[in-house]
Amino acid sequence: MVRKIDYPLNKIRRFLEPGPVVLVSARDRGSDNIMTMGWHMMLGFSPALFACYIWDGDHSFEMLRNSRECVINLPTVDMIEQVVGIGNSSGADIDKFETFGLSPVPATLVAAPMIAECFANFECRLHDDSLIDRYGLFVWEVVKAHVAGGSQTPETMHYLGEGAFMVSGRTISRRSAFKPQNL
């Protein structure tokens, strides 16, 4: 048996963070912004639903609520300095594309720009806004996906809190034991 200790509740995200850090790009009223985000989860396969928590104090919050669309961009570990810099600055003060040397690329179905340097870009439209006011929870439908060719297991970052990140590790295959669900 593994011996366990009491742990501070405000630090449990280190163990439960569900996915890689992403960069959310938005456009509202001719202005673009990027925010770093780690609180998100997939909600469904078809349609592909993606939910995320966004604090109402973030500059992007009103942009996303107003425009009702965004691009979820998946950076790789080689972009750690940009990811941290974007997370530590406000789009109200700077142009994050210019400041962090990122290239905005027009998306296909939404007005928000994609980030060219990211491994993948997922164009999203707001699917459900009923939890935004109460919890800051946006539910998006991914309407178009763009993924780099080659490896399907990029080295992504997972935020552990307090400035610490974990890099995605080795991949273990159990395909022979996999039983697909009726998707």
The CATH number of residue 78's host domain is: 2.30.110.10
At 97 the pLDDT is: 98
Q: How confident is the model at residue 123 (pLDDT cuts 50, 70, 90)?
A: very high
Please indicate whether residue 162 or residue 74 has the higher confidence score (pLDDT): 74
Q: Does the pLDDT value for residue 66 go beyond 90?
A: yes
First to last CA, the chain: 37
Mean pLDDT of 133-157: 90
Identify the sign of the CA torsion 14, 15, 16, 22. Answer: positive
Q: 110 is in which domain, residue-wise?
A: 21-152
pLDDT, residue 11, reads 74
pLDDT for 61 beyond 70: yes
- Burial category of 153 from C-beta neighbours within 10 Å (exposed 0-12, middle 13-18, buried 19 and up): exposed
How many independent structural domains does the chain possess? 1
- Considering the domain boundaries, does residue 162 fall inside one? no
Residue 175 pLDDT class (50, 70, 90 cuts): confident
83, part of any domain: yes
Residue 9 lies in a domain: no
Q: Is the pLDDT of residue 72 over 80?
A: yes
Residue 158 lies inside a defined structural domain of this protein: no
- Say whether pLDDT at 170 is over 80: no
Q: What pTM did the predictor assign?
A: 0.89
Rounded mean pLDDT, 83-106? 97
Does residue 177 lie in a domain region? no
* pLDDT of res. 111: 98
55 is a domain residue? yes
In a domain, 176, yes or no: no
> Is 27 within the bounds of a domain?
yes
pLDDT at 120 over 80: yes
Examine the pLDDT at 182 and tell me if it is beyond 60. no
Q: What is the pLDDT of residue 28?
A: 97
Kindly report the length of the chain: 183
Residue 159 confidence (pLDDT) above 70: yes
- Percent of the chain residues past pLDDT 90, beyond the cut: 67
For the beta carbon of residue 171, count every other beta carbon within 10 angstroms: 8
Is pLDDT at 12 greater than 70 in this prediction? no
